[in-house]
Amino acid sequence: MLTDPEPSTDHRTRDHWWVRPGWGPETRWYTVHATFADQPGTPALVAEAARLRPLVERTGWDLVPDRWLHLTMQGVGDTAVVNQDQAARVAAAARRSLAGTGPITVELGPATIDAEGVNLPARGEGARALDAVRERVREAIGGVLGNDAVEGGTVWRPHVSLAYANTTGLPLEPVREDLAAAGGPVAVQIDRVHLIALRRQGHLYRWDDATALPLH
C-alpha cells in the first residue's frame, strides 16, 4: 500500500553518502527503477530539473545529472547473491505481469527537501498506478526468488531525486523556502520500468545497462 509523501521536518542536512551496511565500492545491486533515457516523459522531467537546478546548485549538494535521473521502485538483490540467470527470469516474469498496465502519467512535485535529498515526489492517481506496478514487480521477484527474498515493505514513497546532500549539518530552511516558491508539479509519462544493476560511484547512482519492462 502506497503512503502519500509527507512534509519533512528535518532542519539540517545529513550526508547521503554514508556507508550503508552491505554496500562497498564494488557492490552492484539489481533493482527495478524507472530510468529516463527513453521515457515519453523524459523531456518534461529534464526541463523541470533544469528549472529547479539554480535553487539547489549550492555548496553541500550533489546535483543528479539528467543521465542518472530515476524513480526508485524495488530492490531485487546483490549481484553477488542473485545471478544473471535469476535476474533474467525476474525480468521475464515482470515483463509478462506488467504488459498492459500502462502507460502512466504521474505528477512529480512540487519539489520537497529532507535531510539527504531534494526530491520530486510522485502524487495522485499516477502514484497509485505506480504502486500497482511495484506490487506486480514484487510478485515477480517472489515467484522467482521466493517471497522471503522480496526486499522492503509495502509502504514506499516514490520520488525522483534531483540532488543529494554530501555534507552533514547545513541548514535546510533556505533551500526549503526557495523550493516552496518555485511551484510545480510536472506531468511525466512513464511507459516502462527497468531492471538495472545499480552502483554508487563518484557521489552518483549509476548503471551500465537497463533491461526494459514495458507497461504497454
How do 29-35 and 117-123 pair as beta strands? unpaired
What total number of domains does the chain contain?
A: 1
Quote the domain boundaries for residue 177: 29-214
Residue 80 falls within a domain, yes or no?
Answer: yes
> Mind listing the pLDDT tens digit for each residue in 156-206?
999 999 999 999 999 999 999 999 999 989 999 999 999 999 999 989 999
Residue 92 falls within a domain, yes or no?
Answer: yes
Residue 21 falls within a domain, yes or no?
Answer: no
Residue 175 falls within a domain, yes or no?
Answer: yes
Confidence label for 7 from pLDDT (cuts 50, 70 and 90)? low
> Mind listing the pLDDT tens digit for each residue in 54-102?
999 999 999 999 999 999 999 999 999 999 999 999 999 999 999 999 8
Residue 44 falls within a domain, yes or no?
Answer: yes
Residue 64 falls within a domain, yes or no?
Answer: yes
> Mind listing the pLDDT tens digit for each residue in 103-130?
999 999 999 999 999 999 999 999 999 9
> Mind listing the pLDDT tens digit for each residue in 127-164?
999 999 999 999 999 999 999 999 988 889 999 999 99
Q: Output the domain CATH number for residue 104.
A: 3.90.1140.10
Q: Residue 5 above 80 pLDDT? A: no
Specify the pTM: 0.94
Residue 14 falls within a domain, yes or no?
Answer: no
